[in-house]
């Protein structure tokens, strides 16, 4: 199994012609419209798009927590109809169970799969040391820092050796330094394990540093705007951010995102409303 | 403030610092002025009937030695405990079943919502008639007082469990039983303990009133008896005893809660 | 790139894709269509189950009090008799919707509860704000509040009856105690829940104390205050019954007690149910007022900024 995954033959996600409508106050709101893309096996696929574009919605559809209004999601040729242990999700907010210690959280999946408690704990301990959490096994989740929670959460997903790992802005809200550290940890993990990954982010630097491919979303309605391949060597290091290649890719991605952001801004997103409000407040202060 | 405390010198220093803490001496001022005002009111002659704090303090030992004082503690505590226990068992089982089954909830919840606003003490006369012994009446009333807060809170607790925990557990391969025992139960536990601590407070209120009306023993009866014999000191001592009893029960409840939910200890 | 191509292809058949979206079950449809009907049907289902529940409830009640009657169940009037008495013009025990005395008891109880409630809010809310806002006030008064709070209101009945000149005052005093503490505590928690930064911002803007009170403290604490008021209303009814049972000469609690001493069983039930309805209606009233105030407040802020 493990060898297979390293070679990257498992976990091919195909999102085809997916559309999603939500009802807001009885009115339809089209969030996703005709999204088609592949999450290539064994690669680190990054999904990037402006805030509110429907990235989390896409993740929920792939995870099976929601069903697409139109189109379908397949994994290795099998249609997704609900959540399953072949896909593990790390959300942008922590979903570690607060009533369990870190090690119990991480051993939860294997124990559910029938692994005896002792060896599940052993596996969990090994993985915890891999993400730098040795010594924190018996802390509750609220008793460790946000960065540690994120790492534990990644570990809880990885220990089940899923076909696909889905990460929805896992490092959002961390400060710059811990974010950098988390990215390093994550790169090492990915390069070791080679699990097919879909990593959602709204940060261009993060996207390019991590990715084999960057899937750029358009906005309102959301579809795939473009897919960029990142040919930076692996193992990746932080220093690669200074390479001219990196800058070039960053420029291209930013250009794509800028066009979309502008579209959204004009259409009255949260950001533009915020700006309007600020300006109004300034006027009234005078 | 976070220095390592080793040696007697440090300890003494900490005591001094604690004594200088404004929270402490201002609190002392507050409580002291309360008693002073009370005593002064007494001297002036307002509420002439009321005993002053000095009278009360003097009377405490004698009151505590009176026949049946400690038996009253025992009797009231037993009623509270029994009513509370039955209420907790029933409220938890009904609350959990309704939290898990939509149909059961649709059928049963409206009835309980109709019964809930009737104040527990309004059941007193009927209970005296219906139940064969005063003891059963009082246990039934404490049960009534405790049942609804526990029931409502556990139901709300189940409703409010974050859907993401359930999703995560399902992704991790949890079956129905695991979902229930490892996610729903711990997820609803904080709300359950909120309900339990509200309930324990109410049981004391109810038992006091019930004892005033129909008991031969108990802290409420003690107070009532003092009233009948016009012993104001006795009344005040009874009230204070009841207050202490309520505080001790809440303390025990809080202690159980902290131990049942070790993950919330740091809060 | 293949993917870009496919999205271009989709753009050409855009109308087709929109039609598929519209055909999906997620698409909300206007009123009068099948979805609305389905929703209504599910509400009808809730109603059906509720009726089933009540059916079983009243069925059992009738069965146990009119058909089988196990020992001691003779103290519970059967529902037909009870409601028959309630709406009878010449009730056997003197209380029904046609008898003015019934409304007299209701009026007395309502008056007591609302008087007690008004006093406890009028004194308790300002005290709560003081406790939350002023450190000295908090440090000195809070221990006193915490010292008195554990004594249940009903334990005050004997003392209140002896110390206060009128029984009426004693009943109102007992009724207001619990709601007073509920108001104080929740208002206090509300003020404490306001982030410190708001106070700093107000200080930077040069607000006077009155303005801080009016524009930071009260609006910030309002949701908590209303939670407190709801609790206060609930416990007021709760204590009122105790007070009326033990010391009252009128009111619904007294009606119940009187029903007990005269063995006028239907009156006990009429009193209980009326109390339940009044208590429920009072809470609903407070909730509605709270929602209105809160909505009004949000609107006021939006317009003012
Ligand atoms: N269950 C739902 N019901 C109604 N609208 C929803 C629902 N879920 C998401 N939306 C709406 O869909 C849009 C996209 O949401 P989504 O969370 O997928 O965006 P996102 O790209 O992940 O944003 P962010 O960067 O903030 O995480 C938002 O406008 C959101 O309000
Ligand atoms: Mg998101």
**In this complex, which of C17, C28, C305 lies closest to A28 when CB atoms are compared?**
C28
pLDDT value, residue C267: 92
Q: C252 and C107, same structural domain?
A: yes
Domain assignment of residue C3, yes or no: no
Domain assignment of residue C198, yes or no: yes
How far the first Cα of chain C sits from its last, in Å, is 50
Distance from B164 to chain A by nearest Cα, in Å? 6
Q: Whose CA is nearest to atom 31 of ligand 1?
A: A52
Q: How confident is the model at residue B45 (pLDDT cuts 50, 70, 90)?
A: confident
Closest ligand 1 atom, residue A29 Cα: 5
Closest ligand 1 atom, residue A53 Cα: 21
Q: Is B51 on the interface with C (CB under 8 A)?
A: no
pLDDT value, residue A269: 55
Q: Could you give the CA distance from residue B168 to residue B166 in angstroms, rounded to a whole number?
A: 5
Which mutation among A25, A55, A93, A169 tests ligand 1's pocket best, with the greatest number of atoms within 8 A of CB?
A: A55
Indicate the average pLDDT of chain B: 87
| Ligand 1 within 6 A of CB of A91 | no
What percent of chain C stands above pLDDT 90? 36
Q: C65 and C165, same structural domain?
A: no
- Of the residues A24, A27, A32, A69, the best mutation for testing chain C's interface (the one with the most C CB atoms within 10 Å of its CB) is A69
List the Cα angle B178/B179/B183 in 5-degree steps.
Answer: 105
Q: A209 pLDDT exceeds 80?
A: yes
Q: Could you give the CA distance from residue A106 to residue A130 in angstroms, rounded to a whole number?
A: 13
Q: Count of A–B CB contacts within 8 Å?
A: 64
What percent of chain C stands above pLDDT 70? 87
Across B18-26, average pLDDT: 79
pLDDT value, residue C303: 37
Span C118-137, pLDDT tens digits: 999 999 999 999 998 888 88
User: Could you give the maximum distance between any two Cα atoms of chain B, in Å?
Assistant: 75
- Of the residues B171, B258, B262, the best mutation for testing chain A's interface (the one with the most A CB atoms within 10 Å of its CB) is B171
Domain assignment of residue C120, yes or no: yes
Question: What tokens appear for A242 in the block?
Answer: 């200074």
Q: Is C7 on the interface with A (CB under 8 A)?
A: yes
H or E stretch covering A198: strand A196-201
Question: Out of A148-162, A215-229, B181-195, C111-125, which region has the weakest mean confidence (pLDDT)?
Answer: A215-229
Q: C187 and C72, same structural domain?
A: no
Question: What tokens appear for C207 in the block?
Answer: 């607000």
Domain assignment of residue C86, yes or no: no
Domain assignment of residue C179, yes or no: yes
Strand-pair partners of A198: A45, A166
Q: A241 pLDDT exceeds 90?
A: no
Q: Count of B–C CB contacts within 8 Å?
A: 173
* CB contact at 8 A, C134 and C224: no
The alpha-helical segments, DSSP class H, found in chain C are 2-12, 14-23, 34-62, 79-86, 100-133, 135-148, 157-163, 167-193, 196-204, 209-212, 218-247, 252-261, 265-304
Span B47-71, pLDDT tens digits: 677 788 888 888 888 888 888 889 9
Q: Cβ of C154 and B33 within 8 Å?
A: no
Closest CA to B62 of B211, B233, B212: B233
* CB contact at 8 A, B210 and B220: yes
Chain B residues within 8 A of A143 when measuring between CB atoms: 266
Chain B residues within 8 A of A156 when measuring between CB atoms: 172
SS3 A30: strand
Q: DSSP string covering chain B, please?
A: ------HHHHHHHHHHHHHH-HHHHHHHHHHHHHHHHHHHHHHHTTTTTSPPHHHHHHHHHHHHHSTTHHHHHHHHHHHHHHHHHHHHHHHHHHHHHHHH-HHHHHHHHHHHHHHTTS-GGGGHHHHHHHSSSHHHHHHHHHHHHHHHHHHHHHHHHHHTS-HHHHHHHHHTT--HHHIIIIIIHHHHHHHHHHHHHHHHHHHHHHHHHHHHHH-SSSHHHHHHHHHHTT-HHHHHHHHHHHHHHHHHHHHHHHHHHHHH-GGGTT-
Q: A5 pLDDT exceeds 80?
A: no
Q: B266 pLDDT exceeds 80?
A: no
SS3 A70: strand
| Ligand 1 within 6 A of CB of A56 | yes
**In this complex, which of C147, C246, C275 lies closest to B209 when CB atoms are compared?**
C246
H or E stretch covering A193: helix A176-193
User: In the complex, which subunits touch B with 3 or more CB pairs below 8 angstroms?
Assistant: A, C
Q: Who has greater pLDDT, C200 or B19?
A: C200
Q: A195 pLDDT exceeds 80?
A: yes
Q: How confident is the model at residue A263 (pLDDT cuts 50, 70, 90)?
A: low
Q: How confident is the model at residue C32 (pLDDT cuts 50, 70, 90)?
A: low
Across C216-237, average pLDDT: 89
pTM attached to this predicted model = 0.82
Name the domain count of chain C.
Answer: 2
Span C291-302, pLDDT tens digits: 888 777 666 554
Q: Who has greater pLDDT, C42 or B7?
A: C42
Q: Is C284 on the interface with B (CB under 8 A)?
A: no
pLDDT value, residue C37: 62
User: Which residues 66-85 in chain A show a CB within 8 A of chain C?
Assistant: 69-70
**In this complex, which of B22, B47, B117 lies closest to C163 when CB atoms are compared?**
B47
Chain A residues within 8 A of C7 when measuring between CB atoms: 34, 36, 223-225
Q: Could you give the CA distance from residue C40 to residue B196 in angstroms, rounded to a whole number?
A: 37
Q: How confident is the model at residue C157 (pLDDT cuts 50, 70, 90)?
A: confident
Domain assignment of residue C22, yes or no: no
Closest CA to C52 of B151, B95, B103, B118: B103
Chain B residues within 8 A of A109 when measuring between CB atoms: 172-173
Q: How far is CA C19 from CA A15, A66, C170, in A?
A: 20, 21, 72
Q: C139 and C63, same structural domain?
A: no
Strand-pair partners of A18: A35
Q: Cβ of A226 and C4 within 8 Å?
A: yes
CATH number, domain of C131, equals 1.10.3720.10
ipTM, interface predicted TM-score of the complex: 0.82
Across B181-193, average pLDDT: 92
Distance from C72 to chain A by nearest Cα, in Å? 48
A46 C-alpha to ligand 2 centroid (Å): 14
Q: C128 and C59, same structural domain?
A: no
Q: Could you give the CA distance from residue B242 to residue A143 in angstroms, rounded to a whole number?
A: 38
Residue A203 buriedness (CB in 10 A; 0-12 / 13-18 / 19+): middle
pLDDT value, residue C213: 86
- Residue spans of the domains in chain B: they are 2-49, 61-264
pLDDT value, residue A278: 53
H or E stretch covering A147: helix A146-158
Sign of CA dihedral C264, C268, C270, C274: positive
Q: Is C152 on the interface with B (CB under 8 A)?
A: yes
Sequence-distant (6+) residues with CB within 8 A of C130 are C137, C138, C141
Q: Cβ of C24 and A21 within 8 Å?
A: yes
| Ligand 1 within 6 A of CB of A201 | no
Closest residue on chain C to A16 (Cα): C6
Chain C residues within 8 A of B111 when measuring between CB atoms: 53-54, 57
A51 C-alpha to ligand 1 centroid (Å): 9
Q: C47 and C143, same structural domain?
A: no
User: Which residues 143-172 in chain B show a CB within 8 A of chain C?
Assistant: none
* CB contact at 8 A, A151 and A124: no
Q: Is A99 on the interface with B (CB under 8 A)?
A: yes
Q: B74 pLDDT exceeds 90?
A: yes
CATH number of the structural domain B61-264: 1.10.3720.10
**In this complex, which of A65, A112, A143 lies closest to B167 when CB atoms are compared?**
A65
- HSE-up of residue A113 (Cα within 13 Å, Cβ side): 17
Task: Find the domain containing C207 and state its range.
Answer: 100-300
Question: What tokens appear for C90 in the block?
Answer: 């010449």
Q: How far is CA C206 from CA B192, C212, C221, in A?
A: 45, 9, 21
Across C182-202, average pLDDT: 89
H or E stretch covering A46: strand A44-48
Length of chain C as a residue count: 305
| Ligand 1 within 6 A of CB of A22 | yes
Sequence-distant (6+) residues with CB within 8 A of C58 are C79
Q: Could you give the CA distance from residue C85 to residue C104 in angstroms, rounded to a whole number?
A: 18
Closest CA to C269 of C100, C72, C86, C103: C86
Domain assignment of residue C30, yes or no: no
Q: Cβ of C159 and B236 within 8 Å?
A: yes
| Ligand 1 within 6 A of CB of A47 | no
* CB contact at 8 A, C285 and C292: no
SS3 A140: strand
Indicate the average pLDDT of chain A: 85
Closest ligand 1 atom, residue A49 Cα: 21
pLDDT value, residue B81: 95
Domain assignment of residue C71, yes or no: yes
Q: C268 pLDDT exceeds 80?
A: yes
List the Cα angle C251/C252/C255 in 5-degree steps.
Answer: 95
pLDDT value, residue A270: 58
Across B87-92, average pLDDT: 96
Phi, psi values for residue C172, rounded to 5°: -65, -40
Across A14-29, average pLDDT: 86
Q: How many CB atoms lie within 10 A of CB C130?
A: 17
pLDDT value, residue A254: 87
Q: Could you give the CA distance from residue B80 to residue B75 in angstroms, rounded to a whole number?
A: 9
Q: C49 and C133, same structural domain?
A: no
Which mutation among A20, A21, A22 tests ligand 1's pocket best, with the greatest number of atoms within 8 A of CB?
A: A22
pLDDT value, residue A28: 84
Q: Is B166 on the interface with A (CB under 8 A)?
A: no
Q: A279 pLDDT exceeds 60?
A: no
* CB contact at 8 A, C244 and C154: no
Q: Is A85 on the interface with B (CB under 8 A)?
A: yes
| Ligand 1 within 6 A of CB of A84 | no
Across A124-134, average pLDDT: 89
User: In the complex, which subunits touch C with 3 or more CB pairs below 8 angstroms?
Assistant: A, B
């Amino acid at each position: 199994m493990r060898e297979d995954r390293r070679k990257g033959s498992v976990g091919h996600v195909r999102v085809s012609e997916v559309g999603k409508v939500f009802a807001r106050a009885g009115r339809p709101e089209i969030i996703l419209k005709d999204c088609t893309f592949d999450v290539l096996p064994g690669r680190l696929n990054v999904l990037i798009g402006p805030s509110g574009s429907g990235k989390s919605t896409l993740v929920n559809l792939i995870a099976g927590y929601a069903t697409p209004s139109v189109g379908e999601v397949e994994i290795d040729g099998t249609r997704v109809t609900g959540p399953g242990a072949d896909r593990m999700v790390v959300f942008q907010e922590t979903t570690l169970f607060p009533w369990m210690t870190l090690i119990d959280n991480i051993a939860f999946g294997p124990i559910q799969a029938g692994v005896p408690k002792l060896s599940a704990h052993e596996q969990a301990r090994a993985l915890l040391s891999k993400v730098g959490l040795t010594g924190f096994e018996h802390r509750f989740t609220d008793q460790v820092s946000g960065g540690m929670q994120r790492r534990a959460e990644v570990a809880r997903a990885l220990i089940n050796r899923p076909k696909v790992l889905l990460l929805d802005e896992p490092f959002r809200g961390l400060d710059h330094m811990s974010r950098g550290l988390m990215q390093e940890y994550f790169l090492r993990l990915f390069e070791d394990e080679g699990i097919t990954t879909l990593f959602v982010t709204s940060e261009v630097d993060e996207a390019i540093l991590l990715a084999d491919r960057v899937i750029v979303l358009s906005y309102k309605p959301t579809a795939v705007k473009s897919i960029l391949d990142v040919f930076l060597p692996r193992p990746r290091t932080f220093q690669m951010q200074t390479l001219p290649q990196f800058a070039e890719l960053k420029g291209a991605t930013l250009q794509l995102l800028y066009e979309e952001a502008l579209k959204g801004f004009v259409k009255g997103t949260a950001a533009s409303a915020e700006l309007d409000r600020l300006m109004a407040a300034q006027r009234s202060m005078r | 403030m976070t220095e390592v405390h080793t040696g007697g010198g440090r300890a003494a220093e900490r005591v001094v610092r604690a004594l200088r803490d404004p929270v402490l001496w201002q609190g002392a001022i507050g409580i002291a002025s309360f008693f002073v005002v009370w005593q002064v009111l007494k001297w002036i002659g307002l509420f002439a009937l009321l005993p002053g704090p000095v009278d009360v303090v003097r009377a405490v030992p004698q009151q505590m030695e009176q026949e049946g004082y400690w038996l009253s503690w025992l009797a009231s505590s037993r009623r509270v405990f029994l009513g509370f226990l039955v209420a907790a068992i029933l409220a938890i089982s009904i609350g959990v079943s309704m939290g898990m089954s939509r149909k059961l909830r649709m059928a049963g919840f409206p009835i309980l919502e109709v019964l809930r606003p009737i104040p527990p003490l309004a059941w007193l006369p009927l209970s005296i008639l219906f139940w064969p012994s005063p003891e059963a009446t009082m246990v039934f009333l404490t049960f009534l007082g405790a049942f609804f807060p526990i029931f409502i809170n556990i139901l709300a607790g189940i409703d409010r469990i974050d859907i993401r925990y359930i999703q995560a557990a399902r992704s991790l391969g949890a079956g129905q039983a695991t979902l229930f025992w490892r996610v729903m139960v711990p997820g609803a536990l904080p709300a359950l303990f909120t309900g339990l601590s509200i309930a324990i407070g109410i049981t004391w209120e109810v038992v006091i009133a019930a004892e005033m009306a129909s008991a031969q023993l108990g802290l409420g009866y003690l107070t009532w008896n003092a009233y009948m014999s016009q012993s104001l000191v006795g009344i005040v001592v009874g009230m204070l005893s009841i207050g202490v009893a309520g505080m001790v029960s809440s303390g025990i409840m809080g202690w159980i809660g902290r131990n049942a939910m070790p993950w919330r200890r740091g809060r | 790139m293949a993917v870009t191509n496919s999205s271009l292809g989709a753009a050409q058949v855009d109308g087709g894709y929109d039609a598929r979206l519209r055909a999906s079950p997620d698409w909300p449809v206007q009123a009068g269509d099948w979805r609305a009907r389905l929703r209504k049907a599910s509400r009808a289902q809730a109603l059906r189950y509720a009726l089933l529940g009540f059916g079983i409830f009243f069925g059992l009640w009738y069965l146990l009090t009119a058909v089988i009657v196990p020992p001691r169940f003779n103290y519970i009037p059967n529902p037909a008799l009870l409601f028959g008495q309630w709406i009878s013009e010449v009730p056997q025990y003197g209380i029904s919707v046609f008898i003015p005395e019934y409304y007299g008891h209701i009026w007395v109880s309502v008056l007591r509860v609302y008087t007690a409630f008004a006093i406890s809010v009028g004194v308790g809310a300002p005290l709560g704000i003081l406790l939350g806002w002023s450190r000295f006030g908090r440090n000195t008064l809070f221990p006193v509040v915490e010292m008195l709070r554990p004594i249940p209101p009903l334990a005050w009945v004997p003392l209140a009856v002896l110390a206060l000149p009128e029984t009426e005052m004693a009943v109102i005093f007992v009724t207001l105690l619990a709601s007073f503490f509920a108001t104080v505590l929740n208002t206090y928690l509300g003020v404490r829940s306001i982030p410190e930064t708001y106070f700093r911002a107000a200080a930077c803007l040069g607000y006077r104390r009155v303005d801080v009170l009016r524009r930071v403290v009260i609006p910030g604490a309002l949701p908590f205050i209303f939670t407190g008021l709801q609790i206060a209303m609930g416990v007021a009814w709760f204590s009122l019954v105790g007070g009326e049972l033990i010391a009252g000469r009128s009111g619904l609690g007294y009606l119940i007690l009187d029903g007990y001493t005269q063995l006028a069983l239907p009156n006990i039930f009429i009193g209980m149910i009326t109390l339940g309805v009044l208590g429920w209606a009072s809470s609903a009233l407070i909730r509605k007022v709270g929602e209105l105030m809160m909505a009004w407040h949000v609107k006021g802020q939006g317009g003012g900024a």
